[in-house]
């Protein structure tokens, strides 16, 4: 299947503001691109692109005074399969984990696994290690946390989500990540496109959050918010938590004035031409 992806994001600035943007698809999906995935700016700016320590593609630039538009539209190929499920995926002992995976066991800005350890062991200590344990964590978070856009807060942590029992998609993932780390399961935050393919429409479209765990020598996708395999998930960035993968980071005041995201299944080009 083919998916049309894109965004149109606008800011208003009163002074020149340095930006870092993580708006490209993850390097693991670059081979699936059918059109260039290039951040475009109005006015046209000089962009310095680099890969951060997590392998995410970052764009660095300075926005001048006035309106700034960040936009792009491109097509990507997707196999059309739902997220993989493997109930036999095993959890490795900490001493057997690769060096670069160990950081995803540590507490982080939004995932205070050090403070949630006792709670996690009480809830999940008797579950089967590996995939069943991660699924048990997702089930618990999905059942006990209420979703609502009005609960959004850029500073809410996993501890606060647990106390409040509500949040948005990133909050579901932060709590699940923290619980996984408490149980010595490496877990990392992920963000990207997730359109309404194969499910009832839920407009308006936004970038989505999920998380990945390291089992049986590879990373697997989990989603405590939706808690069901989905079709058409396109990864953009991964990190310890949302602090590492902000779509835009500004070093000065920039007022968001428009935020439009597109993720729609389309017919193949050949079929359209006919």
Q: 235 and 197 in one domain? A: yes
Tell me the Ramachandran region of residue 66: left when phi exceeds 0, alpha when psi lies from -120 to 50, beta otherwise.
left
> Which band of pLDDT confidence, cut at 50, 70 and 90, is reported for residue 208?
very high
| Beta-sheet pairing, 146-147 with 166-167 | parallel
Question: Nearest-CA neighbor of 219 among 186, 256, 172, 267?
Answer: 186
Rounded to 5°, the CA angle 63-64-67 comes to 85
In a domain, 143, yes or no: yes
Structural domains counted in the chain: 2
Are residues 139 and 55 both part of a single domain?
A: no
pLDDT band at 209 (very low <50, low <70, confident <90, very high): very high
Which residue in this structure is represented by tokens 């693991």? 28
Distance CA(79)–CA(137), nearest Å, equals 28
Residue 175 in any domain: the answer is yes
Per-residue model confidence (pLDDT) at position 270: 55
Note the pLDDT tens digit of each residue in 46-99. 999 999 999 999 999 999 999 999 999 999 999 999 999 999 999 999 999 999
pTM: 0.94
Q: How distant is the alpha carbon of residue 66 from its chain centre?
A: 30
What range defines the domain where residue 217 resides? 94-244
Edge-to-edge strands of the sheet including 218-222?
218-222, 208-215, 187-194, 233-239
């Amino acid at each position: 299947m083919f998916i049309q992806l894109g965004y149109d994001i606008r800011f208003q600035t009163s002074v020149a503001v340095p930006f870092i943007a993580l708006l490209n698809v993850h390097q693991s999906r670059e081979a699936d691109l059918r059109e260039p995935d290039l951040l475009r700016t109005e006015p046209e700016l000089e962009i310095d692109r680099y890969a951060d320590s997590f392998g995410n593609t970052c764009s660095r630039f300075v926005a001048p005074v006035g309106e700034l538009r960040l936009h792009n539209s491109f097509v990507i190929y997707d196999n059309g399969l739902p997220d993989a499920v493997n109930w036999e995926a095993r959890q490795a002992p900490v001493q057997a984990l690769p060096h670069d995976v160990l950081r995803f066991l540590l507490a982080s800005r939004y995932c205070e696994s050090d403070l949630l350890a006792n709670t996690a062991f009480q809830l999940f200590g008797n579950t089967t290690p590996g995939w069943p344990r991660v699924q048990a964590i997702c089930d618990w978070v999905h059942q006990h946390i209420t979703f609502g856009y009005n609960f959004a807060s850029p500073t809410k942590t996993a501890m606060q989500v647990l106390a409040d029992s509500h949040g948005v998609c990133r909050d579901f993932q932060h709590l699940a990540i923290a619980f996984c780390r408490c149980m010595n399961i490496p877990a990392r935050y992920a963000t990207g496109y997730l359109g309404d393919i194969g499910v009832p429409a839920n407009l308006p479209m936004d970038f989505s959050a999920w998380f990945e765990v390291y089992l049986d020598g590879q990373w697997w996708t989990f989603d405590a918010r939706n808690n069901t395999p989905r079709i058409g998930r396109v990864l953009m960035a991964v990190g310890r938590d949302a602090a590492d993968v902000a779509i835009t980071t500004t070093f000065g005041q920039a007022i968001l004035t428009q935020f439009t995201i597109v993720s729609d299944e389309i017919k193949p080009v050949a079929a359209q031409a006919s």
